């Protein structure tokens, strides 16, 4: 006698509960799929930025400028530019101490070293760029607001193609100071 009562009520309730559980499961599954998708998306974003970040930073070392004689309006900056991963293109530089900064290269023309302006300088992890007085590329300061004095510093910002600028302080010193002491 008891069974029919329970029997009439129980299956229906069980059915409602299981239907409710199924609905919950579907919601839970959909939610977890969404969460998984979101997690994957954010991972992909992190991965993309992690891939771009290291190569974005070009490393600058041994940046120096030679002192200029009184009255001189041009000077030169030399530096070593390297990159840990990938490549970069230096497109120019600027300083509040000169009207313009040009990328220059030196070329031997009819037994004379001649400077000429170049538009950009490419570097890669395989091929860093080491500038030095006496030839090759350098940064030419044009329209100096004051002579470059040994011991002073020169603020310089390097501009790259599709990469953030790099700002640094350039030491003004005699080239001899950069050479290892020998003899
Ligand atoms: Cu030059």
Q: How do the pLDDT tens digits run along the chain, 183 residues long? A: 444 444 444 445 555 555 555 555 555 555 555 545 444 444 443 333 444 444 457 899 999 999 999 999 999 999 999 998 899 999 999 999 999 999 999 888 888 888 999 999 999 999 999 999 988 999 999 999 999 999 999 999 999 998 999 999 999 999 875 555 555
CA of 56 to the centre of ligand 1 (A): 27
Query: Is the same domain home to 11 and 74?
Result: no
Q: Are residues 134 and 63 in the same domain?
A: yes
Residues 164 and 80 in one domain: yes
How many of the other CB atoms lie within 10 Å of CB of 104?
A: 18
pLDDT tens figures, 116-149: 999 999 999 999 999 999 889 999 999 999 999 9
10 Å CB burial of residue 128 (0-12, 13-18, 19+) is middle
Q: Is 89 exposed, middle or buried, given 0-12, 13-18 or 19+ CB atoms closer than 10 A?
A: middle
- How far, in Å, from the CA of 78 to the mean position of ligand 1? 10
- Count of beta carbons in the 10 Å neighbourhood of residue 181: 6
User: Distances from the Cα of 61 to the Cαs of 79, 128, 139, 156, in angstroms?
Assistant: 6, 11, 14, 13
Task: Judge whether 183 lies within some domain.
Answer: no
Q: How far is the CA of 36 from the centre of ligand 1 (A)?
A: 57
Distance 76 CA to ligand 1 centre (A): 7
What's the maximum distance between 2 C-alpha atoms anywhere in the chain? 120
Report the separation in Å between the CA atom of 131 and the middle of ligand 1, taken as the mean of its atom positions: 12
What's the CA-to-centroid distance between 104 and ligand 1, angstroms? 5
User: Cα of 154 to ligand 1 centre, how many Å?
Assistant: 17
Looking at the fold, whether 10 and 35 belong to one and the same domain comes out as yes
**Whether the Cβ atoms of residue 67 and residue 103 lie closer than 8 Å to each other:** no
Domain co-membership, 94 together with 148: yes
| Same domain, yes or no: 31 and 94 | no
Does 26 share its domain with 105?
A: no
Residues 88, 172: one domain? yes
* Number of domains present in the structure of the chain: 2
Whole-number Å distance, alpha carbon 138 to ligand 1 midpoint, is 6
Q: Same domain, yes or no, for 101 and 165? A: yes
Q: In this structure, are 85 and 145 located in the same domain?
A: yes
- Same domain for 165 and 91, yes or no, is yes
Distance 12 CA to ligand 1 centre (A): 91
Tell me the two tokens of residue 27.
């919601």
Q: What is the pTM of this model?
A: 0.66
Domain boundary among 13, 32, 54: 54
What is the CA(69)–ligand 1 centre distance, in A?
A: 16
Q: How far is the CA of 161 from the centre of ligand 1 (A)?
A: 21
Is residue 150 assigned to a domain?
Answer: yes
Residue 142 lies in a domain: yes
Q: Do 122 and 149 share a domain, yes or no?
A: yes
Q: Which domain holds residue 81?
A: 58-176
Q: 157 C-alpha to center of ligand 1: Å? A: 18
Cα-to-centroid distance, 93 and ligand 1 (Å): 13
Place of tokens 């974005």: 56
CATH code, 152: 2.60.40.1890
């Amino acid at each position: 006698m008891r069974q029919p009562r329970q029997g009439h009520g129980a299956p229906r309730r069980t059915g409602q509960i299981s239907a409710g559980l199924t609905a919950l499961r579907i919601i839970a599954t959909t939610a977890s799929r969404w969460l998984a998708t979101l997690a994957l998306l954010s991972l992909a974003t992190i991965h993309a930025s992690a891939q771009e970040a290291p190569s974005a930073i070009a490393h600058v070392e041994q940046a120096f400028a030679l002192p200029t004689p009184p009255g001189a309006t041009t000077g030169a900056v030399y530096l070593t530019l390297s990159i840990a991963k990938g490549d970069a293109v230096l497109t120019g530089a600027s300083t509040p101490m000169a009207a313009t900064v040009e990328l220059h290269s030196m070329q031997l023309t009819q037994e004379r070293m001649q400077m000429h302006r170049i538009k950009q300088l490419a570097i890669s992890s395989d091929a860093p760029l080491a500038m030095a007085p006496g030839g090759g590329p350098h940064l030419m300061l044009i329209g100096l607001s004051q002579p470059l004095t040994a011991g002073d510093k020169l603020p310089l910002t390097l501009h790259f193609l599709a990469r953030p600028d790099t700002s640094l302080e350039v030491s003004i010193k005699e080239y001899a100071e950069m050479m290892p002491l020998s003899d």
